[in-house]
Chain A
Amino acid sequence: MADTSLSPAEARQSAERIKTSWFSALLYRSEALRGYLLMSPTILILTIGIIIPFFILVAMSLWTRDGFGFDTTLTMANYARTWDEPIFGALLQRSFWISGVATVATILVCYPMAYYVAFHVHKNKMMWIILMTLPFWTSYLLRVFAWKVILGYEGVINSGFMSLGLIEAPLEFLLYSQTAVIITLAHAWAAFAILPMYVSLEKIDKSLLEAATDLGDGPVARFLRITLPLSMPGIIAASFLIFIPTTGDYITPALLGGPDGAMIGNFIQLQFGPVNNWPMGATLSIVLMLWISAIALVFLFVTKKAQDKIA
């Protein structure tokens, strides 16, 4: 308010000149409001698409099946069943095992690639990254079928090895097994693992690596003490990005898993489909969700501890 010398009339006039709508003035004054406004489309979608369905799911999990309809009296019976009947626990365990192994395999395969691009590629880094996401340009289903062709009884690997005389009969463990599911999942989610790990590796200041070398670390010690801890955020992000969606996946185990490779996702799909027990399906979904949250928390806690140890 520098122009205090203005008469009231002049002040009004000049105020009119720079008048803005009450809405933009309100926005200008309140940072919180601006934030909420920016988030509102997301909040809307979240509410309609996730929060409401989630509560429906919770409600439904407390119902029971009654012929072709639902008995809407609230009960914990479904949860008791998932606890008592070993099939559910076994399936859950297998799901976590398969997606856990797939996650570890993906990270192990993708980390060197991300490392290579981050530290040893100096030109056209973006092109390398785009090339690595190339498999993602075809549909997920197609990639799963492609693996079926590769791993099948008379597939690329078996017929290739047989024509080379390396094996007598086709290797049967390749298709319709946990191995097949793990290989396919690891390949399918590779791009999701590479990107966050590349970003965290790329951010590492190269002089830190020189400093570690200068202070007496050989390549291995330097990697374990500097590169690995500093790229941990990328590894954690990649692990979550792979582990969470693969645990509930049902296409890959349905097409490549066979009886041994079936996962909890297949069972949930059964409940909502052929078995027609929606309350049970809902219960299993919630149980899966709770387990994933628990595992994620433990994982975060352990990596935090491990990082403190390395330091």
Chain B
Amino acid sequence: MKNDAFISIRNVNKYFGSFQAIDNVNMDIGEGEFFSLLGASGCGKTTLLRMLAGFESTSDGEILIDGQPSADVPPHHRPVNMVFQSYAIFPHLNVADNIAYGLRKHKLSKPQKQEMVDEMLELIKLPGYGKRKANELSGGQRQRIALARALILKPKVLLLDEPLGALDKQLREQMQLELRALQRQVGITFVFVTHDQEEALTLSDRIAVMSGGKVLQVDTPEGLYEAPKTREVASFIGNMNFFQGTVRRNGSSEAAIETQGLGSIPISLEKVTKPDGAPVQVALRPEKFELLEEEPTGGHFVSAKMDKTAYLGERSHYYVTLDGKSEPVAVSSTNQFVARDDDRWKEGEPVWLSWSPEAVVVLDAD
């Protein structure tokens, strides 16, 4: 990624007064990549996006866009366009004029402009909407027009600031799919800001998880979910169960981790770098556990007691208690074989928990 980096963010810091909004961020975004900045509100993701757009300056460090240092380039000369959280549709212009807004400098004839606008309306699946007034549009339509208005300029990078945040759940899911398809179709680099981890996982090629102005981890969705590097990332993306443990090296071929609650887990040497006796944490996703009625004959398992259950339709969430661990363990399983109320686990029932050592993530102790 280093060589064909399209956007390079190098040692960037941003201070608002004494408050540090961006803390020494380094990352590279490839050409044509769908890149997400994910984090809770106030983590600095929007500030970073606005720095790419040119609405905020960097306090120090530099940002290269397409190899060009961008510090002295004002927003209206950058090869990037932005879709605003509020969409910022110009209220005094109709749909066609909104979409054609940025074409002013391109010195095109009216029919040429018209043709490009029609093409865009086709792309966002709103053909024939050109004459509509801005206030006659629904939220989803405004969002698409904001997209078209930016895409018509064929920017090298499209910046999206939580563009789906204001839409209801169904429309949001539909727009996610469309956005992803659109990005494939136009092949432009997308930098997408969101606080919704599911959205980030669905859409992105790679995700940067941010917190407190720092980038915690940059990885693919699978990488972030299956192999988080820190406890913060692990608990921010999805649910995670954590177990305290100690490294046990008893030979050269294999290591094991002695955990509180799950017993001894064999771990391949690639996953543990710590010496014998070092404290670590072991993390396991709720869906990596299997709930069994009978004691299994092989593999890794412990006995547990069902504490709480929650039925969510396609899947159920359970909390089970283990000996040697004070907080309950979250388990998630599909309801593939649940047809009636009786088929589900009852609170207080004894169960067996089984898991595979491959699914185990080893993290540094706190």
Instruction: Name the residue on B nearest A226 (C-beta).
Output: B90
Answer whether residue B76 sits at the interface, using C-beta atoms and an 8 A cutoff. yes
> Are B84 and A218 interface neighbours, CB within 8 A?
no
User: Is chain A's binding surface mostly helix, strand, loop or mixed?
Assistant: helix
Nearest CB of B to A91, in Å? 39
User: A210-B55, A214-B53, A311-B97 are contacts. A221–B104 as well, Cβ < 8 Å?
Assistant: yes
> Interface centre among A221, A225, A307, by most B CB within 10 Å?
A225
> Are B102 and A230 interface neighbours, CB within 8 A?
no
> Are B81 and A215 interface neighbours, CB within 8 A?
yes
What 17 new A-B contacts, CB under 8 Å, besides A215-B101, A225-B101?
A205-B86, A205-B88, A207-B84, A207-B88, A210-B82, A211-B90, A212-B90, A213-B55, A214-B53, A214-B55, A215-B149, A215-B150, A215-B153, A216-B76, A226-B90, A229-B92, A230-B91
Q: How far is the CA of A212 from the CA of B93 in the complex (A)?
A: 12
User: B interface vs A, CB < 8 Å?
Assistant: 53, 55, 74-77, 80-82, 84-86, 88, 90-94, 97, 101-102, 104-105, 149-150, 153
**Total number of residue pairs linking A and B with CB closer than 8 Å:** 62
Q: How many residues of A contact B (CB 8 A)?
A: 19
> Are A212 and B92 interface neighbours, CB within 8 A?
no
> Are A213 and B76 interface neighbours, CB within 8 A?
yes
Instruction: Name the residue on B nearest A211 (C-beta).
Output: B88
> Are A307 and B92 interface neighbours, CB within 8 A?
yes
User: A interface vs B, CB < 8 Å?
Assistant: 205, 207-208, 210-218, 221, 225-226, 229-230, 307, 311
Q: How far is the CA of A211 from the CA of B50 in the complex (A)?
A: 12
Instruction: Name the residue on A nearest B84 (C-beta).
Output: A207
> Are B92 and A214 interface neighbours, CB within 8 A?
no
Q: How far is the CA of A210 from the CA of B76 in the complex (A)?
A: 9
Instruction: Name the residue on A nearest B100 (C-beta).
Output: A215
> Are B88 and A216 interface neighbours, CB within 8 A?
no
User: A211-B82, A311-B97 are contacts. A217–B76 as well, Cβ < 8 Å?
Assistant: yes
Q: Contact partner of B92 among A213, A218, A311, CB < 8 A?
A: A311
Nearest CB of A to B110, in Å? 14
Q: How far is the CA of A262 from the CA of B86 in the complex (A)?
A: 54
> Interface centre among A207, A221, A230, by most B CB within 10 Å?
A207
> Are B92 and A207 interface neighbours, CB within 8 A?
no
CB-defined contacts of A226 to chain B, threshold 8 Å: 90
CB-defined contacts of A229 to chain B, threshold 8 Å: 92
> Are B86 and A207 interface neighbours, CB within 8 A?
yes
> Interface centre among A210, A211, A217, A221, by most B CB within 10 Å?
A211
